[in-house]
Amino acid sequence: MDPDREPTRCYNSARRFQENGSLFNEFICPEWDQPDELEYCCGPELQQYCCGFWDDGGRVAGVVIGILIAVTLVIGCIACCCCQARKRRASCKCKSRNETTGALV
């Protein structure tokens, strides 16, 4: 875990007790007895728990949707460039054909 990074704070209104028996609603992930990979908050608001990045369905859905949007944009840009290049080639061929036949444009 990066020592310069702010810790992740999660909230849980359920009865959570510290080692000394006192109740707490806010805690930092990962908790002292958890691996460093559990640095994110999962679960509904005020019922959160520590989890890994891929353990939260919302995060997974967000990554998948982001990838789909990026792929769509790349394909759209490539298609647009191909159409522009095809239009330029078609107009060049028409001009050169008309020049050799002597037809007026």
Cis peptide before 35 (omega within 30 of 0): no
Q: Is the pLDDT of residue 94 over 70?
A: no
Note whether residue 105 is domain-resident: no
- Scanning the structure block, which residue is given the tokens 């009865």? 15
Note whether residue 104 is domain-resident: no
Q: Any bridge partners for residue 51, and if so which?
A: 40
More confident residue, 78 or 87: 78
| 28 and 13 co-located in one domain | yes
**Band of pLDDT at residue 65, cut at 50, 70 and 90:** very high
Note whether residue 16 is domain-resident: yes
Note whether residue 25 is domain-resident: yes
Q: Is the pLDDT of residue 57 over 70?
A: yes
Note whether residue 17 is domain-resident: yes
What is the mean pLDDT of the segment spanning 59-77?
A: 95
Note whether residue 3 is domain-resident: no
Domain hosting residue 15, numbered range:
8-55
Total of domains in the chain: 2
- Share the mean pLDDT of the chain: 81
What is the mean pLDDT of the segment spanning 2-7?
A: 76
